[in-house]
Amino acid sequence: MEIMATGGAVGSGALGYLAGRKKNDAEVDKIAAETDKITAEAEVVRAEAIIAPFRALIAAYETQSHADRERIDELVAEVHELREEVKALRKALDARRPGH
């Protein structure tokens, strides 16, 4: 009977060992997955830190480009007005000249 009891204890110990090992493996896998997640999040933060200044530059260039476009449109309109004014002045000058 003692042999059976000893065999049962050894078998029970082996099963306990295997169950503990599977639990440890699962915990290691869980920790590895959490580490991978944290690493990925850190990479996103690092990428955002690199990209943020470029986004700011692009926004500033877009704002400046819009302002420049508005100024160009204003200047083009002014040129058209000045051309019309020159035409009117030439007509007035021609009308004052003798023989016209």
Do 100 and 94 touch, CB atoms closer than 8 A?
yes
Q: Which amino acid is at 19?
A: A
Percent of the chain with pLDDT over 90: 70
Q: What digits encode the pLDDT tens for the residues 24-37?
A: 888 999 999 999 99
Nearest residue to 45 (alpha-carbon basis) of 37, 57, 56, 33: 37
Q: Does the structure show a pLDDT above 70 at 76?
A: yes
Distance of CA 86 to the CA centre of its chain: 52
